[in-house]
Structure 1
Amino acid sequence: MSENKTLYAAYAEKIDAVLSALEAEGALPPDTNRDNVSVEPPRDPSHGDLATNAAMVLAKQARSNPRALAEKIVEHLDRDPTVTSAEIAGPGFINLRLSPSVWLDEVAAVAATGDDYGKSTVGAGTRVNIEYVSANPTGPMHMGHCRGAVVGDALASLLEHAGHEVIREYYVNDAGGQVDTLARSAHLRYLEALGEDIGDIPEGMYPGEYLIPVGKAAADEFGQRFVNEPEHEWLPIFRAYAVERMMDMIKSDLAQLGIEHDVFSSEAALQAAQKPESAEAWMREHDLVYDGVLEKPKGKTVDDWEPVELPLFRSTRFGDDQDRPIKKSDGKWTYFGADLAYHMQKAEKADALIDIWGADHAGTVKRIKAAVAALSEGEGKPIPFDVKLVQMVQLLRGGEPVKMSKRSGNFVTIADMVEEVGKDVVRFTMLTRKPEAQMDFDFAKVVEASKDNPVFYVQYAHARICSILRRAKDEGLSPSSDQLSLLGEDEFTLVKQAAQFPREVEAAARAREPHRIAFYLYDLAAAFHAYWNLGNDDAEKRIIVAQEPDLSAARLFLSQQIGQIIRNGLGILGVEAVEEL
């Protein structure tokens, strides 16, 4: 097998060659559509090593029953020296058993490729823009942002491993009313730093203590200049000043999670550059925006509703339930209008777009997908676009909820989290559930040293392997691939689990689901722990058997490669593979 090709892809090519041979023989029609042919592990490992549905999905085109076609496929597969058996199961599935040499070659492939084992070229350099976090720049990062940040960052890494070029982007929402509130709140802290008694923070302002150093820095820079000036003089200055410092804080918080973005796009800059106006003009040119009146909202009486003509995007053409205004009646851009222009901007430099949003944005998914679909239509090229919704995390301490409120300033920051339990625990834990599923994060449970704690269980497997290798070195033993043929069925069970890794990377990348890697690592760790535990009951099954140096060297080599795969998988998730616990 060539580098970057999974074992399953290699056998898919073998199946494909068989199908081409059958076409040449006339058993299949020319140019048979093979898109739905798959090669994957059977659901029940006792059925074999690989299974293919080729006969099942091609029988209709072949004008044959599946079992008859399967027999012809099996006839060819029996000629392959790496296939020890090819059996027809049920209505026409084909189960393959592979030669031990195939699995031993895969172990050697892990050693040969090292840190690159599991990397793929399926992305073919496609440029994907992933926008994630994009929290309002009004305070430090807290647990409400954490899960989406980790999911987005792990997805970016996963897609890079699968051969994509990735742009990590953060959209700075610095044009809304909340930024004016931030500016006024920072100005209050500025007055406080100059010695004024500001009393209680007024309702509606941001009372968090994180603005105290911002106010002090402003006092040092501006002195008395903005103490008695009218608001219209200092508001734009304090807006830009506070946003810049909040973004510095946000970048610092994200860095503690190991997260760095390539691009920070400003909503204010987008509007200053008149990108929404350009987007509107482009959409009118392509008959995607028209001037119209929205239907009267339900529940409104004649007295409190007036029909207003607004520029409306034709989102119903793309599956939305109504056309959407891109401007308000006062001429300001709606959130949707600004977002539409922003997505047009992103699409200029990417082949595909992915947004990581909180679940509270579910209501806007349909319309923004409609907008990107319209963009694709107008540009004449498909722009794949996916929105991943991430559920909030309930933060617990000893089973009791920890209350968070950004406006009151009473919240747990990401910096607090990382300081208490560590970056790796936070990141891995955030990927132990599907992002659309609810999650509890209990400070006590995430640091438990038990099988029920996935991050510990996976890191312990790696640390255990490192410990075994250190002990072997002390005893004068070293890993070797010279006698891998001495490995038996127990080792092959572990190898078959390990060999899933490249396939899992490709599958997770195609599905845009980095949590699959966390799930896989847990299963691999469980398989290794089970293998190690065999030696508790039978000394001959220990990894190091003093009287069997060649067998020990082979088992050490296998263990070393399992450690390599765990490191590679954790690397995708942005988690360190520790050598000691």
Structure 2
Amino acid sequence: MSLYARFAAAIDVVLDTLEAEGALPAGLNRASIAVEPPRDASHGDLATNAAMVLAKPAKTNPRALAALIQPKLAEMPGVTAVEIAGPGFLNLRLDPEQWRDEMRTIFAEGADYGRSTQGNAVRVNVEYVSANPTGPMHMGHCRGAVVGDALASLLEYAGHPVTREYYVNDAGSQVETLGRSAHLRYREALGETVTIPEGLYPGDYLKPVGAMLAAEYGDRYVGAAEAEWLPLFRARTVAAMMDMIRADLALLGIKHDVFSSEAKVQSDGKVVAAIDKLRADGLIYEGVLEAPKGEAADDWEPVEMTLFRATKFGDDSDRPVRKADGAYTYFGNDLAYHAQKAETADLLVDIWGADHGGTVKRVQAAVQALTAGRVPLDIKLVQMVRLLRDGEPVKMSKRSGSFVTLADVVEEVGRDVVRFTMLTRRADAQMDFDFAKVVEASKENPVFYVQYAHARIRSLGRKAVEAGIDVTAPADLRKLDAEELALVRLPAQFPRIIEAAAATREPHRVAFYLADLAGAFHALWNRGNDDPERRFLLVNDTETTLARLSLANAVGQIVRNGLAVMGVAAAEEMH
């Protein structure tokens, strides 16, 4: 158990005691009680808001309640002082041995340090990427792919069973267009000179598909009617595109557990079933929507459609699930797909591009209606990445065929750089991906700075062995000075960071934390630049070297654990 978890449990015992003594009412909600580092390190080692949280429901003053808690906390093993601060916060000062014990816990738990049971086995379905199967992955897809994959790993690390899902949009006009585009490449492969008309996909990535179809079918479908070949060419081309997409995602280390087909959702009757269920609940009706705001009356024609009462669940208007011609809307398909996911999950998380923000409320409303509120839907919007080269934006257009593929970028800068960079900002914040800056060897580049910290620690171990030091010998951690021991406070926060990031479903918090940890480690390392006696490796002082090496190894373990959650390999050396 980590230090913060241990003291949180101990504070719970103190509150139980106060309840038993009648000083605190029983049954108060303690969910908001936190144990965390004080904002100002000079105020102590740990702080708790227990008195602030419980005072109002206990009908007492926070400082008065803090005064009851204070002496009991002071009796806890490892606590040297407890102070009441401000309106009722409690600051704890710990015996230094508590931090040395935490280092031992890090070594004992290794790759599992920070792993949590917070998820309480709540099943989560994370759907991400879900790009239309009309071509290879490009950088417009990259950020959502990395955020979704890192979030899935984070939730697993925090104790959730996770299903990684990809929704294949293999129904609708875009795949019809794809099939027609492949037919042209098929004819080209048979020797015909073709011109790609406006509206079809012109990219060279369809040439191998055309060659495959030509080898398999010969000229059978060259002059055939479209109705004969389109269903076949559509299906075969979608399958080929999905193979390409899987291969592109594999370059980033991304794999999905489930690939769900939009066409299959329809053919299995899931859309009809979902709408029938909503109708039985009085949430479907035939009606006419109001004219869109700002649209001239003569530009709008009232049409009766099948509507879902989305306004009952907080949406701005009711939403059509079936058009006047009987075809289901994309929303109608989408609500059925989410109902399907909810059959095997307790929580749904969708990673969407920010351009889909306008549909968030309606889909959340549908999921709430279809599951009677049992399965929440959290939608994370991810802003696009602006790709820069030599300071100039790189244009991307799937239809023109002149886009920059994800494979191109991974080949140039490496998988780990791409993954880490995608997590260096909040998902909903704009991002520039500058080819020069992401590989820059400077502390302004968090990718480099974190990797350099780990490589430095590994190099330290190798140099210690070369100097004849037995690095397997036990270390006397009392040899660490106050500044060195203070560094342990950051690694000790890793379990808290994991739980907070998982609770908010924000994997970028792990990247931010690792950057702070790397910065603190480099700062401690740099002491030796001015004073040789403060270097980590002292050939003539084995005991101090072993203690400092242990400190470095504790930091290295946390860096590895955090990078593993992000899907990034820790660098063993830097070139």
Question: Structures share a fold, TM > 0.5?
Answer: yes
Choose which of 455, 460, 472 in structure 1 pairs with 2:464.
472
Pairing 1:522–2:515 present: yes
Q: Structure 1 residues 50, 439: CA separation in 2 closer, same or farther (over 3 Å shift)?
A: same
Return 5+ residue gaps in structure 1 as ranges: none
Contact 1:291–1:311 (CA<8 Å) still a contact in 2?
yes
Once the two structures are superposed, what CA deviation does each residue of 1:380-425 show, in whole Å capped at 9, x if it has no partner? x621210000000000001111111111001100000000000000
Aligned equivalents of 1:296, 1:66: Cα separation in 2: 55
Aligned equivalents of 1:525, 1:550: Cα separation in 2: 24
Choose which of 538, 557, 575 in structure 1 pairs with 2:568.
575
Aligned equivalents of 2:175, 2:203: Cα separation in 1: 15
Q: Equivalent residue for 1:22?
A: 18
Pairing 1:388–2:380 present: yes
Once the two structures are superposed, what CA deviation does each residue of 1:441-489 show, in whole Å capped at 9, x if it has no partner? 0001111000011110000000000000000011121154441122121
Residue type of the partner of 1:197? T
Aligned equivalents of 2:79, 2:297: Cα separation in 1: 77
Q: Structure 1 residues 42, 480: CA separation in 2 closer, same or farther (over 3 Å shift)?
A: farther
Once the two structures are superposed, what CA deviation does each residue of 1:510-559 show, in whole Å capped at 9, x if it has no partner? 11000000001101111111111111112221112222211211111121
Q: Equivalent residue for 1:114?
A: 110
Aligned equivalents of 1:146, 1:511: Cα separation in 2: 22
1:305 Cα offset (Å): 4.2
Contact 2:475–2:550 (CA<8 Å) still a contact in 1?
no
Q: Equivalent residue for 2:408?
A: 416
Q: Equivalent residue for 1:370?
A: 365
Aligned equivalents of 1:30, 1:127: Cα separation in 2: 32
1:296 Cα offset (Å): 3.0
Q: Equivalent residue for 2:525?
A: 532
Q: How does 1:224-263 map to 2 (within 5 A)?
A: 224-263=219-258
Aligned equivalents of 1:106, 1:559: Cα separation in 2: 14
1:306 Cα offset (Å): 3.9
Q: Equivalent residue for 2:207?
A: 212
Pairing 1:497–2:483 present: no
Where 2:83 maps in the other structure, the secondary structure is strand
1:27 Cα offset (Å): 1.6
Where 1:326 maps in the other structure, the secondary structure is strand
Q: How does 1:97-496 map to 2 (within 5 A)?
A: 97-198=93-194, 200-298=195-293, 305-377=300-372, 382-477=374-469, 478=471, 480-496=473-489
Contact 1:108–1:481 (CA<8 Å) still a contact in 2?
no
Which range moves more in the overlay, 553-562 or 218-227? 553-562
1:57 Cα offset (Å): 2.2
Once the two structures are superposed, what CA deviation does each residue of 1:175-228 show, in whole Å capped at 9, x if it has no partner? 010101000000000000001111x31000100011111111110011011011
Where 1:22 maps in the other structure, the secondary structure is helix
Residue type of the partner of 1:571? A
Query: TM (normalized to structure 1)?
Result: 0.97
Which range moves more in the overlay, 55-64 or 354-363? 55-64
Aligned equivalents of 2:39, 2:18: Cα separation in 1: 27
Aligned equivalents of 1:368, 1:51: Cα separation in 2: 41
Q: Structure 1 residues 479, 501: CA separation in 2 closer, same or farther (over 3 Å shift)?
A: farther
Residue type of the partner of 1:439? M
Aligned equivalents of 2:204, 2:213: Cα separation in 1: 15
Contact 1:480–1:556 (CA<8 Å) still a contact in 2?
no
1:297 Cα offset (Å): 3.4
Once the two structures are superposed, what CA deviation does each residue of 1:15-38 show, in whole Å capped at 9, x if it has no partner? 111111112222212223323222
Aligned equivalents of 2:59, 2:135: Cα separation in 1: 66
Aligned equivalents of 1:221, 1:239: Cα separation in 2: 15
Aligned equivalents of 1:27, 1:302: Cα separation in 2: 69
Aligned equivalents of 1:134, 1:251: Cα separation in 2: 11
Q: Equivalent residue for 1:50?
A: 46
Aligned equivalents of 1:503, 1:509: Cα separation in 2: 10
Residue type of the partner of 2:159? G
1:293 Cα offset (Å): 1.8
Aligned equivalents of 2:495, 2:17: Cα separation in 1: 28
Aligned equivalents of 2:518, 2:472: Cα separation in 1: 20
Residue type of the partner of 1:529? H
Q: Structure 1 residues 481, 69: CA separation in 2 closer, same or farther (over 3 Å shift)?
A: farther
Return 5+ residue gaps in structure 2 as ranges: none
Once the two structures are superposed, what CA deviation does each residue of 1:274-310 show, in whole Å capped at 9, x if it has no partner? 1101111111112221222212334556665443322
Query: TM (normalized to structure 2)?
Result: 0.98
Residue type of the partner of 1:238? F
Residue type of the partner of 1:322? S
Q: Equivalent residue for 1:71?
A: 67
Pairing 1:560–2:553 present: yes
Count of residues in Structure 1 that have an aligned counterpart in Structure 2: 573
